[in-house]
Amino acid sequence: MDKPTAPSEGTRKSMRANRSKGTSPEVALTKALWASGIRGYRKNVLKLPGKPDVVFAKRKLCVFVHGCFWHGCPECGQKRNIRPTANGDYWREKMERNRLRDERNVALLERDGWRVVVVWECEIKRDLPAIVQKLTQSLA
């Protein structure tokens, strides 16, 4: 049984998974871009809002690779791991703050004329070639 004060086992598992995998979805994406002959990007551009993971400055295209858990992926239902406990609220609020910050960063970038592509961790696992194709089209 879960203690009411601790995150549920599912939540802890997701947190551990996120930590141990580190930036691997991002690495998987840049490797796939490189393999497809896509060049001319920079990684982790700190001066732009939200520090986009991949930036094609000449094409004014930013790519964020979001971890499904922390950024509250709408696709894969990571949120379901959070139980309705007091701590569950804490994590939900944290994720909600992340989500709002993500939205604000996208709005700031778009205001400055950037195109923004958000890639979810689970999409990378599910269909990386489709993401590469989408980016290739955006850069054409």
Q: Is 118 in the site for Zn ion (CB under 5 A)?
A: no
Q: Is 64 in the site for Zn ion (CB under 5 A)?
A: no
- Which helix H or strand E contains 17, and what residues bound it? helix 9-21
Contact between 54 and 65 (Cβ < 8 Å): yes
Closer CB to Zn ion, residue 56 or residue 135?
135
Closer CB to Zn ion, residue 7 or residue 67?
67
Closer CB to Zn ion, residue 18 or residue 45?
18
Q: Is 75 in the site for Zn ion (CB under 5 A)?
A: yes
Q: Which residues contact 113 (CB under 8 A, 6 or more apart)?
A: 60
Q: Determine the Cα–Cα distance for residues 104 and 98; give it in Å rounded to an integer.
A: 10
- Which helix H or strand E contains 90, and what residues bound it? helix 86-111
Q: Is 70 in the site for Zn ion (CB under 5 A)?
A: no
Q: Is 73 in the site for Zn ion (CB under 5 A)?
A: yes
Q: Is 76 in the site for Zn ion (CB under 5 A)?
A: yes
Query: Which residue stretch of 2-10, 103-111, 115-123, 127-135 sits at the interface with Zn ion (rule: CB under 5 A)?
Result: 115-123
**Which parts of this chain interact with Zn ion (CB under 5 A)?**
68, 73, 75-76, 120, 122
